Amino acid sequence: MLKLFIGLGIPYLGVIGLLPWVATVDRFVFGVPFIYAWIFAWFMLTSGCLMICWRVFDSRHDESHPQNR
Protein backbone atom coordinates (compact mmCIF):
# COMPACT_ATOMS: atom_id res chain seq x y z
CA MET A 1 0.00 0.00 0.00
CA LEU A 2 2.87 2.37 0.77
CA LYS A 3 4.33 1.62 -2.66
CA LEU A 4 1.11 2.77 -4.34
CA PHE A 5 0.98 5.92 -2.26
CA ILE A 6 4.56 6.88 -3.10
CA GLY A 7 4.34 5.93 -6.78
CA LEU A 8 0.84 7.14 -7.60
CA GLY A 9 -0.64 9.04 -4.66
CA ILE A 10 2.03 11.67 -4.19
CA PRO A 11 2.22 12.59 -7.90
CA TYR A 12 -1.59 12.63 -8.14
CA LEU A 13 -1.89 14.94 -5.15
CA GLY A 14 0.92 17.13 -6.44
CA VAL A 15 -0.55 17.62 -9.89
CA ILE A 16 -4.33 17.30 -9.54
CA GLY A 17 -4.79 18.01 -5.84
CA LEU A 18 -2.82 21.24 -5.74
CA LEU A 19 -3.78 22.47 -9.20
CA PRO A 20 -6.53 24.84 -7.93
CA TRP A 21 -3.98 26.57 -5.69
CA VAL A 22 -1.32 26.62 -8.41
CA ALA A 23 -3.75 28.22 -10.87
CA THR A 24 -4.15 31.22 -8.53
CA VAL A 25 -0.40 31.99 -8.37
CA ASP A 26 0.60 34.85 -10.67
CA ARG A 27 4.37 34.42 -10.51
CA PHE A 28 6.88 33.48 -13.17
CA VAL A 29 9.72 30.95 -12.90
CA PHE A 30 12.55 31.69 -15.35
CA GLY A 31 10.08 33.58 -17.52
CA VAL A 32 7.51 30.76 -17.56
CA PRO A 33 4.15 31.02 -15.78
CA PHE A 34 4.18 29.19 -12.47
CA ILE A 35 1.47 26.71 -13.47
CA TYR A 36 3.55 25.46 -16.43
CA ALA A 37 6.68 25.25 -14.30
CA TRP A 38 4.70 23.31 -11.68
CA ILE A 39 3.45 20.74 -14.18
CA PHE A 40 6.90 20.40 -15.76
CA ALA A 41 8.50 19.95 -12.33
CA TRP A 42 6.07 17.12 -11.60
CA PHE A 43 7.32 15.26 -14.69
CA MET A 44 10.66 15.00 -12.92
CA LEU A 45 9.22 14.46 -9.44
CA THR A 46 6.95 11.65 -10.65
CA SER A 47 9.96 9.90 -12.16
CA GLY A 48 11.74 10.35 -8.84
CA CYS A 49 8.81 8.85 -6.92
CA LEU A 50 8.75 5.85 -9.24
CA MET A 51 12.51 5.42 -8.86
CA ILE A 52 12.17 5.49 -5.07
CA CYS A 53 9.45 2.82 -5.26
CA TRP A 54 11.59 0.62 -7.45
CA ARG A 55 14.71 1.01 -5.29
CA VAL A 56 12.93 0.47 -1.97
CA PHE A 57 10.37 -2.18 -2.87
CA ASP A 58 11.18 -3.93 -6.14
CA SER A 59 14.91 -3.88 -6.91
CA ARG A 60 15.72 -6.88 -4.70
CA HIS A 61 13.07 -8.95 -6.51
CA ASP A 62 14.43 -8.20 -9.99
CA GLU A 63 16.48 -11.18 -11.23
CA SER A 64 18.31 -9.09 -13.85
CA HIS A 65 19.64 -6.71 -11.17
CA PRO A 66 23.43 -7.25 -10.66
CA GLN A 67 23.13 -7.57 -6.87
CA ASN A 68 20.84 -10.61 -7.17
CA ARG A 69 23.21 -12.81 -9.17
DSSP string, the chain: -HHHIIIIIHHHIIIIISHHHHHH---EETTEEHHHHHHHHHHHHHHHHHHHHIIIIIGGG-TTSGGG-
Per the structure, the count of domains in the chain is 1
| N-terminal to C-terminal alpha carbon distance within the chain | 28
Residue 53, pLDDT score? 87
In a domain, 50, yes or no: yes
In a domain, 56, yes or no: yes
In a domain, 16, yes or no: no
pLDDT mean over 46-63: 81
For 18-42, the pLDDT digits (tens) are 999 999 999 999 999 999 999 999 9
In a domain, 45, yes or no: yes
In a domain, 4, yes or no: no
Answering whether pTM is above 0.75, one says: no
Q: List the domain range (segments joined by +) for residue 35.
A: 31-61
Residue 3, pLDDT score? 79
Residue 36, pLDDT score? 94
